[in-house]
Structure 1
Amino acid sequence: MKLIQQLWKDKLAALSLTVIGAIVIAGIFAPFLAPHDPEEVHMELHFAPASWEYLLGNDHLGRCILSRLIYGIRPSVLYVFAALAASVCIGALLGFAAGYFRGKTDAVVMRVCDVMLSFPGYVMSLAVIGMLGAGLENILIAFVLMKWAWFARVIRASVLQYAESDYVKFSKALGLSHIRIMAKHIVPVALPDIAVISSSSFGTMILQVSGFSFLGLGIQAPHAEWGMMLSEARAVMFSRPELMLAPGLAIVIVVSSMNFLSDALQVALDPKLKSRRVSQPGAAASAEALTR
C-alpha cells in the first residue's frame, strides 16, 4: 500500500500505472468491451474507413480493427505476463536456493544457468519454436525455458548480499529452519530486486512476442494479436498506413509505460536512488544542459 502511494506521487509513474491497469482490465473484459466479433468477416467492408459503427475501420477481411485490438491484449500482454510469472517463480526458487545454501547447490544451479545463458536468447527461442512448431503457446514455453536462468542468476546475486548478514546468522544460531529464515529475512529484502527486474523484462517479452507474431511464428489466424495485425497490414502499409497505426501505437504505449513504471519502481524501492534524486535535484537538469 505504501509503495502504491509512493508511485502515485510520481506523475509519470501514476500515468503509466493507470494506462497499464486500463489495458489489463480491457483485456480481461474483452468480450464485454469489444463492439464486434474480432473474427467475423465482412468482405463488403473490405478496408472500410472509420465510422461510428467501426471506430477504427476494417481490415482486409472487413473485420473490426478496434475489436481485434482489444482482444489482442490477451496474447500480447496477459499471456506474456503469465509466462513472466512462471519464469520468475522458477528463477526465484533456484536463485534463493543457490544464494542461501551455496556450496554444491550453488555450483550446480549456476553451471546449468551458464549453459542456458551461453546461447543467444532469440536463437534458442527460434530453436524451441522450430522443434515444437509455430504458435503462441510454444513461444511462451520457449520464454519460460530461456528466461528462468537469467532470473535465477540475478536473484541469486541479490540473495548473496543478505545471506551472510548478522540477523541471518543470529536466526541460524537460534535454530530457526532454513525455510523460515528465508521467508522472514531474505525474501522481503530481495522482493524489490525481483519486482524491478520483472517489470523491466515485461516490456522486452511483449516486443519479442509481437516480433515472432509479425514473422508468422506466433499466434495463428484468425485469432487477434498486435504483432500479427502489423504483419497483416504490411501489404498495404503505403496505401493504408493507418492500419498499422493502431497496433503499433498499442505496443509502443504498453512497452513505454512498463519502462517508465520500472524506473519509478526502482527509485521507490531503493532508498539510495531516492536520496540521491532529492539531494541532487539539479543533476538531471545540468546533464541535460551539457548534452544540448
Structure 2
Amino acid sequence: MISKAQFQKEIDLIIANAIREDVGDGDHSSLSCIPSSAKGKAKLLVKDEGIIAGVEFAKQVFAHVDDTMKVEVLIEDGTKVKYGDIVFYVEGASQSILKAERLVLNAMQRMSAIATKTKKFVDLLEGTSTKILDTRKTTPGIRALEKWAVKIGGGENHRFALYDMIMLKDNHIDFAGGITNAINKTKAYLKDTNRDLKIIVEARSLKEIEEILESDGVYRILIDNFNYEDTRKAVKLIGGKCLTESSGGITESTVRKYAECGVDYISSGALTHSVYNMDLSLKAV
C-alpha cells in the first residue's frame, strides 16, 4: 500500500488540478460583482441521508484556496446524516468561498455516496470475519478521494494502483504462459529489481488454485467468479496457506453468502463505480 505521504501528495494534486480546471484565470462571476474586501459565511447543508464523507478534504480545499478562511465542523466524516443537517460552517472572503464551492460540493457528494454504499456492505458482513475491499474501478484522476471515502464508510482499500502490489490476473497468466510461469517470473523480477511487493494471483477454477498452491510466496488468492459451493471448496483447499478474496459481480444481495463461505476479503468495484451522489448544498447564511 502507498504511504500516508504518497496519499497526501495525490490529494494535493487533485485539489490543484481541480482548481486549475474550474477557476482558470479567475472566477469572473464573483470578481465582477463582489468586492475583494467582502466577507461572508456559508453552511454545508444535507438534503439527503447517508454517511457524510469529505469534511477533511473540504477543509484542505478551503485552505488551498485561502488559508484565512475558518471552518467550524459540526459533523465529522463517517457520521450518519439526514435531511436538514448542517455539516459545517465556513467563514471568510466571499470570493474565496465561491471559488472553492463547486470542488467541495462535487467531491463531498461523490465521497458521501461511496461511503454510504460501503457502509451498507459493511453492515451486511457484520458477524463474519470477512472484510470489504474496493478495486481500481475508480474515476480517473480522483482515485484517492474515492478510496478515502471507502475507508470512511468502514471498508478497506485494495492496492492503490499498479505500482504498490502485484496482481496476476487472467491476461497476465495467459500472456506469461501459465500460472506457474507467471509466479516464477514475478518472483524473479521482484528479486532483480529489489522490490518488496505482495503477490495476488487470480484463479478461475479449483484446478488453478491447486497449481497456485504449488508455489511459495503468494500473499492472496483471488477466487474469481466462483459460485458458493466452489468458493467453499476453494477456501477449504487453500486452508490458511494464504489469504482468500472473492470477486466478480458480488452485490448487496450475494455478499453475505460469499462471506459465509469463509473468505477473508470480498472486493467490489460497485463501491466506487455504481453510486448516486448525495444531495448537498453550500448556502450563504
Per the normalisation by structure 2, the TM-score is 0.24
TM-score (norm 1): 0.23
- Structure whose residues are more often helix by fraction: 1
More strand by share: 2
